[in-house]
Amino acid sequence: MEINKNIAIGIMKEELIRFILEKDKGRKKEIFDKIIVEISSNILPVRNGRYYKRTKGQLSGTYSNVNKRSF
Protein backbone atom coordinates (compact mmCIF):
# COMPACT_ATOMS: atom_id res chain seq x y z
CA MET A 1 0.00 0.00 0.00
CA GLU A 2 1.11 3.56 -0.65
CA ILE A 3 -0.34 6.99 0.01
CA ASN A 4 -2.24 8.84 -2.68
CA LYS A 5 0.31 11.54 -3.49
CA ASN A 6 -2.19 13.81 -5.21
CA ILE A 7 -4.45 13.92 -2.16
CA ALA A 8 -1.44 14.25 0.18
CA ILE A 9 -0.19 17.32 -1.67
CA GLY A 10 -3.67 18.86 -1.52
CA ILE A 11 -3.87 18.29 2.24
CA MET A 12 -0.36 19.64 2.80
CA LYS A 13 -0.90 22.82 0.81
CA GLU A 14 -3.94 23.66 2.91
CA GLU A 15 -2.61 22.76 6.34
CA LEU A 16 1.13 23.50 6.09
CA ILE A 17 0.80 27.28 6.32
CA ARG A 18 -1.43 26.97 9.37
CA PHE A 19 1.10 24.57 10.90
CA ILE A 20 4.06 26.90 10.30
CA LEU A 21 2.30 30.02 11.60
CA GLU A 22 1.05 28.36 14.80
CA LYS A 23 3.11 29.37 17.86
CA ASP A 24 1.57 27.09 20.49
CA LYS A 25 3.41 23.76 20.52
CA GLY A 26 0.37 21.82 21.70
CA ARG A 27 -1.81 23.16 18.91
CA LYS A 28 1.04 22.54 16.44
CA LYS A 29 1.11 18.87 17.47
CA GLU A 30 -2.68 18.63 17.01
CA ILE A 31 -2.43 20.07 13.50
CA PHE A 32 0.45 17.71 12.65
CA ASP A 33 -1.47 14.68 13.94
CA LYS A 34 -4.53 15.75 11.93
CA ILE A 35 -2.41 15.99 8.77
CA ILE A 36 -0.95 12.52 9.37
CA VAL A 37 -4.39 10.97 9.96
CA GLU A 38 -5.88 12.56 6.83
CA ILE A 39 -2.98 11.50 4.62
CA SER A 40 -2.85 7.96 6.00
CA SER A 41 -6.58 7.50 5.41
CA ASN A 42 -6.04 7.93 1.65
CA ILE A 43 -3.99 4.90 0.66
CA LEU A 44 -3.91 2.96 -2.59
CA PRO A 45 -2.90 -0.63 -3.28
CA VAL A 46 0.29 -1.15 -5.27
CA ARG A 47 -0.34 -3.43 -8.21
CA ASN A 48 2.95 -4.87 -9.46
CA GLY A 49 3.47 -6.13 -12.97
CA ARG A 50 0.82 -3.99 -14.66
CA TYR A 51 1.50 -2.70 -18.11
CA TYR A 52 -0.88 -1.08 -20.50
CA LYS A 53 0.06 -0.35 -24.06
CA ARG A 54 0.03 3.38 -24.86
CA THR A 55 -2.31 4.51 -27.58
CA LYS A 56 -0.94 7.12 -29.93
CA GLY A 57 -2.78 9.32 -32.33
CA GLN A 58 -6.30 10.62 -32.18
CA LEU A 59 -7.55 8.19 -29.51
CA SER A 60 -4.91 9.14 -26.95
CA GLY A 61 -6.57 12.48 -26.11
CA THR A 62 -10.15 11.22 -25.99
CA TYR A 63 -10.15 10.10 -22.35
CA SER A 64 -7.12 11.95 -21.02
CA ASN A 65 -5.76 10.88 -17.68
CA VAL A 66 -3.60 13.96 -17.22
CA ASN A 67 -5.93 16.20 -15.21
CA LYS A 68 -7.04 14.32 -12.12
CA ARG A 69 -9.29 15.66 -9.43
CA SER A 70 -7.67 15.92 -6.02
CA PHE A 71 -10.49 17.54 -4.02
Whether 66 is covered by a domain: the verdict is: no
Q: Which domain holds residue 36?
A: 2-46
- The answer to whether position 59 is within a domain reads no
* Strand partners of residue 2: 44
Instruction: Evaluate if residue 18 carries a pLDDT over 60.
Output: yes
pLDDT, one tens digit per residue, over 20-50 is 999 999 999 999 999 999 999 999 898 888 7
Instruction: Evaluate whether residue 15 is within a structural domain.
Output: yes
Asked if residue 69 belongs to a domain, the reply is: no
Residue 41 in domain: yes
Does the pLDDT value for residue 60 go beyond 60? no
- Please report the DSSP string for 10-71 in residue order: HHHHHHHHHHHH---HHHHHHHHHHHHHHHHTSEE---TT---PPP-SGGGGTT--SS----
Q: Which long-range contacts (CB under 8 A, 24 or more apart) does 59-66 make?
A: none
- How many independent structural domains does the chain possess? 1
* 28 vs 68: which has the higher pLDDT: 28
Is pTM, for the whole model, over 0.85? no
Burial 15-35 (b: 16+ CB within 10 A, else e): beeebeeeeeeeeeeebeeeb
Average pLDDT, stretch 4-8?
Answer: 91
What pLDDT is stored for residue 25 in this prediction? Answer: 93
